[in-house]
Amino acid sequence: MNRKQSLMLGVALLLVLLANSIFVVDQRAVAVVLEFEKFKSAVPAPGLHFKVPFAQTVEKFDRRLLTGTETESIPTGDQKTLNVEYYVKWRIADVATYYRATAGKDLVVGDRLMKVVKTSLRDVLGSRSLEQIISGNHDQMDEVLLREAQDKARDLGIEVADVRIENLSLPKELADAYFDGIRADRKRQADDLRARGNEEAESIRAAADSEAQTTLAEAYRKAEALRGEGDGKAAEIYAKSYGQDPEFFAFYGSLNAYRESFTGKRNVLVLEPKGEFFKYFKDAGSGK
């Protein structure tokens, strides 16, 4: 009975030792082996691994792409302060370096990585004015940030996959002053364009008026010349007509005089019908 119990105890102890000697690393993770709480070795590959039971322990870390986000107040090259929202995508590249640099502590990792990116942000944004940052190529700035972050993050055993500025904003008081300045500048430009437009319009209007006056004067001159020519021809025709038939000419002249005297007149004229004026009213047929 004692031998059986001893055997069972031995088997149980063996199983415990075996269980403490074997560990599995998932494909999504990397690990380090610690011996008496001190770094012993890195386990970068997934699968079944062995360690010294009780003397060694294992810490595992996520090897997938992780994301950190942050908001910082960054001064620009012209001493304006920008609120910058950005994110960083990273993964563990060298688990041994990663553990030695950060002890695997999430807070230490986040603090040191974000400090690296913040330093790069200060370098990039601090070399540009606010106008250059707002109107510039943000993709180019992101590329510069990514290269600098990758260089500095190697000491942490980290591979930075992406750095991206998500949002840039001014503090409210600076934003109000900045956009007031832009509005004032645009208003000055609009006023200048409006004044130049009015000046050009006045010039065009004056030229058009001058051309119109010239055209009217020329038309009036031509009309007067044509009227004079017509009057001359009419006088010539009247003279010829009078020479050919003085009686008809006198009759025609009397008709015109009657028309001018009575057409459209509201006044009443009292005349004696014996006068020369009514010569052709007395006897239309004989002219007497």
156, 109 contact by CB (below 8 A): yes
162 & 96 share domain: yes
Residue 283 has pLDDT above 60, yes or no: no
Determine, yes or no, domain membership for 144: yes
Q: Using alpha carbons, list the distances in angstroms from residue 125 to 72, 74, 147, 150, 261.
A: 12, 7, 15, 18, 98
98 & 156 share domain: yes
Report the pLDDT value the prediction gives residue 287, as an integer from 0 to 100: 45
Going by DSSP bridges, is the β-strand pair 81-92/38-43 parallel, antiparallel, or unpaired? unpaired
Q: Residue 116: which CATH number?
A: 3.30.479.30
Tell me the per-residue pLDDT of 123-142, one tens digit each, with 9 for 90 and over.
888 888 877 887 777 788 88
141 & 156 share domain: yes
Report the pLDDT value the prediction gives residue 268, as an integer from 0 to 100: 56
Please, which pLDDT band fits residue 276 given cuts at 50, 70 and 90?
A: low
Higher pLDDT, 225 or 285: 225
Determine, yes or no, domain membership for 236: no
Determine, yes or no, domain membership for 220: no
Based on the structure, what is the number of domains in the chain? 3
Phi/psi at 47 (nearest 5 deg)?
125, -165
Q: Which of 122, 145, 170 is the endpoint of a domain?
A: 170
101 & 31 share domain: no
Q: In whole angstroms, give the CA distance from residue 203 to residue 197.
A: 10
Q: Which of 170, 186, 202 is the endpoint of a domain?
A: 170
Tell me the per-residue pLDDT of 193-252, one tens digit each, with 9 for 90 and over.
999 999 899 999 999 988 899 998 989 888 988 888 888 887 777 777 666 667 666 776
170, 82 contact by CB (below 8 A): yes
54 & 81 share domain: no
Going by DSSP bridges, is the β-strand pair 66-75/47-50 parallel, antiparallel, or unpaired? unpaired
100 & 156 share domain: yes
Q: Which of 101, 136, 170 is the endpoint of a domain?
A: 170
97 & 37 share domain: no
Determine, yes or no, domain membership for 11: no
Report the pLDDT value the prediction gives residue 174, as an integer from 0 to 100: 67
78 & 153 share domain: yes
| DSSP for 177-242, written as a single string | HHHHHHHHHHHHHHHHHHHHHHHHHHHHHHHHHHHHHHHHHHHHHHHHHHHHHHHHHHHHHHHHHH
31 & 80 share domain: no
149 is in which domain, residue-wise? 66-170
Report the pLDDT value the prediction gives residue 280, as an integer from 0 to 100: 58
Q: Using alpha carbons, list the distances in angstroms from residue 71 to 27, 158, 190, 257.
A: 33, 21, 38, 104
- Binning the chain into helix, strand and coil, the percentages to the nearest 5 are 60, 20, 20
Residue 269 has pLDDT above 70, yes or no: no
